[in-house]
Structure 1
Amino acid sequence: MDLEEPGRQVVLDRLLDLLLVRVLRAWFARPEADPPVGYRALADPRIGHALRLLHQWPARPWTVAALAAEAGMSRAVFARRFTALVGRPPLGYLTEWRMALAADLLREPGAGVAAVARRVGYADGFAFSSAFKRVRGETPSALLRTARANRLAP
């Protein structure tokens, strides 16, 4: 096999991903295992469906009622079950997910606060900046400056 064959690194990366997923599944399937809260939530047919929707379309203007409808549950039952399985309420989880995505986007070259805010579901840069600071402990602008400095550093 030619070590420089096109696509080699992509194949190796995907094989490592597959191996990691298989190992984690086997580990968490053990009776004495204590998997992370979110792992069990993804296995729940209704809550897992809602989580996948949040991950796929984080910028949508989600409400608990809309997520409950997608999951085929009442709003109250959905909110209780989501919180029990995920460890935080649905919209709190969504905010944290959006801020994690935003932090990654802000580290990309050419990123701007307003553009990132829109990509993660905020029409208002001020509301986004406030939420980001509350969740991440620093402003989006500070993260941008750090990311730019790190790219310029030798």
Structure 2
Amino acid sequence: MIISCPECAKRFNIDQNLIPKHGRLLQCSNCMHKWHFIIKKNEEIINEPFKSEEVILENKNQEKKINPSKEFIPIEDETVEKELKKEQKVTNKIKKKEQKRKKKDKPIKLLNMIIVIIISVAALIIIIDTFRIELSKYMPFLNPMLDSFYTIIADINSFIKDLIR
């Protein structure tokens, strides 16, 4: 049987066994409009096997695809829908807590932080040295500062070599 949404006129192919004699609360998956649907005697009932997707042509220019398994949302009661939303919220909160625990279980080690800082400083110095001439126009103190830095590095290197001997 084909049911159309009273709000947006979207049409759905639905098995008539899903709707009892006293009617059923339905929800359109297109516009989320809810309405109570009762089967009337004068309505056409199409007893064809369901296909995964059917195409209904209203006009030559207009084509609507119907997928009864995905687009039709029968609702017994609004409380059921509210309970499902509450359960989803609770499960989402639990998942977020578990993810936070996993992050806390892996503390950042001090040695890792020191290595990252050393590599970052070395990369910064290499970039500054690469653009030394261009940057010295705007920062005249850069050349003497880099020269003294390289002298300090050379002194530290010779100190370490003396300690090893």
TM range (shorter): under 0.3
TM score, norm. by length of structure 2: 0.21
Bigger Cα Rg: 2
